[in-house]
Chain A
């Protein structure tokens, strides 16, 4: 199904490019070269982008599985990036493993704190997290802008960006590539989430709250609101961690537009994966490849990078339709 969806998306892209007067063949070739066309493209382009999409996607799967719709991953990512930069600039004297641990842990805490207000609003006043988390994205972007022109601006005070974080706080790289240790972190995270969902009491309760909140509550053993709140906090922490990984593994500095909308694309990644951890990894790589290939397409074939959204859109639509068909089938059986 997923393969068919991707092929259909690529077909739509080819038709669209042809209609718009581009050389579709050259564009698709560039898309391939930029994503899977070689060792460097795979590691340094595709996988580098797949890491934040996968990590955030896992966090979104955690929240959505609990029926809590965290639309604020972009903001939590930035909160994590700010914290990672702030800590990363101050740990030059620590041994590297400790410096990295402090930086990324700080990012996770910041992400959790960023979703803390929506959690409080939901628990105290029943405010839906869909709105409150979404709104905080804009606040986080403004905060980044404030930081890079204020407290975290580089020493010369010219550019709207931070200084480079300490080398000790940077994630190790795969030699000869830009791929960093965020990849194993993402993979371990996926296994951990799978274990949580399928093997633990808490993960089971979380899924029950998402699938049937009333039944979960009535069962008498599950505090549905607490479970949803915990899932949101965990989700925010993971998105914050992704921001920390981006700063310590890729950018080494904070600036505006650090994320090309990872927090939003990751929602599509999680939904495409039907909120299954293994699927999140696969979808994360797919979308990472599309984003990587889009750049090459623009460079080599003169096609605007946004054209690749056509592929993403078709893939998501096919996935949604397939899911609907699936659910319809279940209803007929009942």
Chain B
């Protein structure tokens, strides 16, 4: 008889507002294994692991460790069961030393001498050398990551949940990190590796589970699953005979239309300011076109969109964008809108000379208010009125408002980041409709969606962004081929 799994999650359901993040997901982790959890952005990988770590309370479902049903209502419960988590974002306190950070995470007493020795001993035992007295804020990215792992292991974790630990690392550092994880599991621990990189999962995991839209769609070992299987599972099998890329709209390359976005040899830094996110050879978007960027999170598409929208400065290269530009940022509540301001104020947010309610240095709020009322009606925003704070609107209506604000200015170029993220079907269809109409009226539309199906459905031309490079997907490229380009399988 085999030992029970180190960690089991059974029939886990979780709903956030209108989004079903997990829909009956099952997952099991055996002692001594590295288990890759694959999926696109928004597939529910992180949510599932947050359930195991007590950060998210599931609507339904069961958590077991060692075959016994457990209550995990907080990270404290999880740590008591020997579960440690390394989050996608660093959680160390920069002003404290390495040793102090470990003590903080593990609940150890802080006495300089003994603590330093204790942390040094821990680092040696788990094979992750660190200097205990170094300030955490001075560590490089790879060492910061290492500190996060040491913190997770300090409380004698036997199960380690790693949320995209390789996203920020250089290739050599990735190999180092994964060797350390391997060392941990060979000592009897078990690790979950959340990732969306197929090659990494195949190279390092003993088993692979693929999540898609909150459900487990594939399970197996790297020996039995090739990259094509995994890519198909991650992105979803071609459902029905779907229109291939580049034919979604009737409008195929019309060389008579003016070019409204043109770039050449463009290099854009990461938003964080460190390193280059994008090296784009060339891209043109003409009036009437809807160009979709197909990309897995973190490949430079965000930086490309923000550079085109004029919200991020390129390092070098040529970029010509017709004005005005309408920009629909990804995060409605912190970048698209200011929740505590009224709808009228939100509509007036980017105003300046030229808007009818701006008279020199004064604002004519009565006019802005009338304009807003008109927008609410025209764009079907369900709201108590133009004076209501934006916070009271549902996500879909907030997004309609952002779209209304940006499109009503009749922009020459529309740039949209994940314009339907988190929205229900009706709101999403509405947003698509608006973007199509903007293109039909002569705007050049450039957008990205984390959902490949959406990108293919909305775009009449698809450009793949992978590792900061642009690859045009010629008209007629199949969904599977686009997926392969995105994941750099070919």
A residues contacting B by CB (< 8 A) are 198-202, 204, 207-208, 211-212, 214-216, 218-222, 330-331, 333-334
Residues of B within 8 A of A199 (CB): 362-363, 365
Contact A218 B361 (CB under 8 A): no
Residues of A within 8 A of B365 (CB): 198-199
Contact A333 B341 (CB under 8 A): no
Contact partner, A218, options B327, B362, B391, B392, Cβ 8 Å: B327
Once bound together, how far apart are the Cα atoms of A211 and B390, in whole Å?
A: 12
Contact partner, B345, options A208, A221, A333, A334, Cβ 8 Å: A208
Contact B327 A201 (CB under 8 A): no
Q: Which residue of B lies closest to A330 (CB)?
A: B391
In order of increasing CB-CB distance, the 8 nearest A-B pairs are: A212-B338, A219-B350, A334-B391, A218-B335, A333-B392, A221-B350, A219-B349, A221-B352
Once bound together, how far apart are the Cα atoms of A200 and B350, in whole Å?
A: 14
Residues of A within 8 A of B340 (CB): 211-212, 330
Contact partner, B349, options A198, A208, A330, A334, Cβ 8 Å: A208
Once bound together, how far apart are the Cα atoms of A116 and B338, in whole Å?
A: 29
Residues of B within 8 A of A222 (CB): 349-350
Contact B341 A218 (CB under 8 A): no
Contact partner, A212, options B311, B337, B348, B358, Cβ 8 Å: B337
User: Measured between C-beta atoms, what is the minimum distance from A231 to chain B in Å?
Assistant: 16
Contact A218 B311 (CB under 8 A): yes
Contact B361 A200 (CB under 8 A): yes
Once bound together, how far apart are the Cα atoms of A211 and B325, in whole Å?
A: 24
Q: Which residue of B lies closest to A211 (CB)?
A: B338
Contact A215 B337 (CB under 8 A): yes
Contact partner, B352, options A200, A201, A212, A215, Cβ 8 Å: A201
Residues of A within 8 A of B339 (CB): 212, 334
**Interface bits B295-322 vs A (CB < 8 Å: 1, else 0):** 0000000000000011100000000000
Once bound together, how far apart are the Cα atoms of A207 and B363, in whole Å?
A: 14
**At the interface, yes or no: B223 with Cβ under 8 Å from chain A?**
no
User: Measured between C-beta atoms, what is the minimum distance from B322 to chain A in Å?
Assistant: 15
| Residue of B345, B358, B363, B391 ringed by the most chain A CB atoms within 10 A | B363
Contact partner, A214, options B310, B327, B335, Cβ 8 Å: B335
Once bound together, how far apart are the Cα atoms of A311 and B171, in whole Å?
A: 62
Residues of B within 8 A of A220 (CB): 309-311, 325, 327, 350
In the complex, 25 of the A-B residue pairs with CB atoms within 8 angstroms, ordered by the A residue number, are A199-B365, A200-B362, A201-B352, A201-B362, A202-B361, A204-B345, A204-B348, A204-B363, A211-B338, A211-B341, A212-B337, A212-B340, A214-B335, A215-B336, A215-B337, A218-B327, A218-B336, A219-B349, A220-B309, A220-B310, A330-B340, A330-B391, A331-B391, A334-B392, A334-B393
Contact B389 A208 (CB under 8 A): no
Residues of B within 8 A of A211 (CB): 338, 340-341
**At the interface, yes or no: B483 with Cβ under 8 Å from chain A?**
no
Residues of B within 8 A of A202 (CB): 361
Q: Which residue of A lies closest to B392 (CB)?
A: A333
Residues of A within 8 A of B331 (CB): 214
Question: If the complex has contacts A220-B310, A220-B311, A333-B392, are A201 and B338 also in contact, measured as CB distance less than 8 A?
Answer: no
Question: If the complex has contacts A201-B363, A202-B361, A215-B349, are A208 and B310 also in contact, measured as CB distance less than 8 A?
Answer: no
Q: Which residue of A lies closest to B390 (CB)?
A: A334
Residues of B within 8 A of A204 (CB): 345, 348, 363
Chain B interface, DSSP helix/strand/loop, else mixed:
loop
Residues of B within 8 A of A331 (CB): 391
Question: If the complex has contacts A330-B389, A330-B392, are A212 and B334 also in contact, measured as CB distance less than 8 A?
Answer: yes
Contact A215 B361 (CB under 8 A): no
Q: Which residue of B lies closest to A331 (CB)?
A: B391
Q: Which residue of A lies closest to B388 (CB)?
A: A333
Residues of A within 8 A of B450 (CB): none
Residues of A within 8 A of B91 (CB): none
**At the interface, yes or no: B20 with Cβ under 8 Å from chain A?**
no
Question: If the complex has contacts A220-B310, A220-B311, A333-B392, are A215 and B338 also in contact, measured as CB distance less than 8 A?
Answer: yes
Once bound together, how far apart are the Cα atoms of A30 and B334, in whole Å?
A: 51
| Residue of A198, A201, A211 ringed by the most chain B CB atoms within 10 A | A201
**At the interface, yes or no: B351 with Cβ under 8 Å from chain A?**
yes
User: Measured between C-beta atoms, what is the minimum distance from A22 to chain B in Å?
Assistant: 44
Once bound together, how far apart are the Cα atoms of A201 and B362, in whole Å?
A: 5
Residues of B within 8 A of A219 (CB): 349-350
Residues of A within 8 A of B311 (CB): 218, 220
Q: Which residue of B lies closest to A218 (CB)?
A: B335
| Residue of A212, A215, A221 ringed by the most chain B CB atoms within 10 A | A215
**At the interface, yes or no: B329 with Cβ under 8 Å from chain A?**
yes
Question: If the complex has contacts A201-B363, A202-B361, A220-B310, are A215 and B351 also in contact, measured as CB distance less than 8 A?
Answer: no
Contact partner, B341, options A198, A212, A214, Cβ 8 Å: A212
Once bound together, how far apart are the Cα atoms of A331 and B389, in whole Å?
A: 11
User: Measured between C-beta atoms, what is the minimum distance from A132 to chain B in Å?
Assistant: 18
Contact A216 B363 (CB under 8 A): no
Contact B350 A201 (CB under 8 A): no
Once bound together, how far apart are the Cα atoms of A215 and B341, in whole Å?
A: 11
User: Measured between C-beta atoms, what is the minimum distance from A218 to chain B in Å?
Assistant: 5
Q: Which residue of A lies closest to B311 (CB)?
A: A218
Residues of B within 8 A of A330 (CB): 340, 389, 391-392
Once bound together, how far apart are the Cα atoms of A176 and B348, in whole Å?
A: 51
Question: If the complex has contacts A202-B361, A333-B392, are A208 and B341 also in contact, measured as CB distance less than 8 A?
Answer: yes
Residues of A within 8 A of B350 (CB): 219-222
| Residue of A199, A216, A334 ringed by the most chain B CB atoms within 10 A | A334
Once bound together, how far apart are the Cα atoms of A198 and B335, in whole Å?
A: 23
Contact A215 B391 (CB under 8 A): no
Q: Which residue of A lies closest to B394 (CB)?
A: A334
Question: If the complex has contacts A219-B349, A221-B350, A333-B392, are A208 and B338 also in contact, measured as CB distance less than 8 A?
Answer: yes
Q: Which residue of B lies closest to A198 (CB)?
A: B365
User: Measured between C-beta atoms, what is the minimum distance from B246 to chain A in Å?
Assistant: 31
Residues of A within 8 A of B391 (CB): 330-331, 333-334
Contact A201 B361 (CB under 8 A): yes
User: Measured between C-beta atoms, what is the minimum distance from B419 to chain A in Å?
Assistant: 15
Once bound together, how far apart are the Cα atoms of A221 and B339, in whole Å?
A: 19
Q: Which residue of B lies closest to A215 (CB)?
A: B338
Q: Which residue of A lies closest to B352 (CB)?
A: A221
Q: Which residue of A lies closest to B359 (CB)?
A: A201
Q: Which residue of A lies closest to B331 (CB)?
A: A214
Residues of A within 8 A of B349 (CB): 208, 215-216, 219, 222
Once bound together, how far apart are the Cα atoms of A334 and B325, in whole Å?
A: 29
Once bound together, how far apart are the Cα atoms of A333 and B337, in whole Å?
A: 16
Once bound together, how far apart are the Cα atoms of A222 and B341, in whole Å?
A: 16
Q: Which residue of B lies closest to A202 (CB)?
A: B361
**Interface bits B343-379 vs A (CB < 8 Å: 1, else 0):** 0010011111000001001110100000000000000
Once bound together, how far apart are the Cα atoms of A85 and B325, in whole Å?
A: 54
Residues of B within 8 A of A214 (CB): 331, 334-335
Contact partner, B335, options A200, A201, A215, A221, Cβ 8 Å: A215
Residues of A within 8 A of B341 (CB): 207-208, 211-212
Contact partner, B363, options A200, A221, A334, Cβ 8 Å: A200
Once bound together, how far apart are the Cα atoms of A211 and B339, in whole Å?
A: 8
Contact partner, A221, options B309, B338, B351, Cβ 8 Å: B351
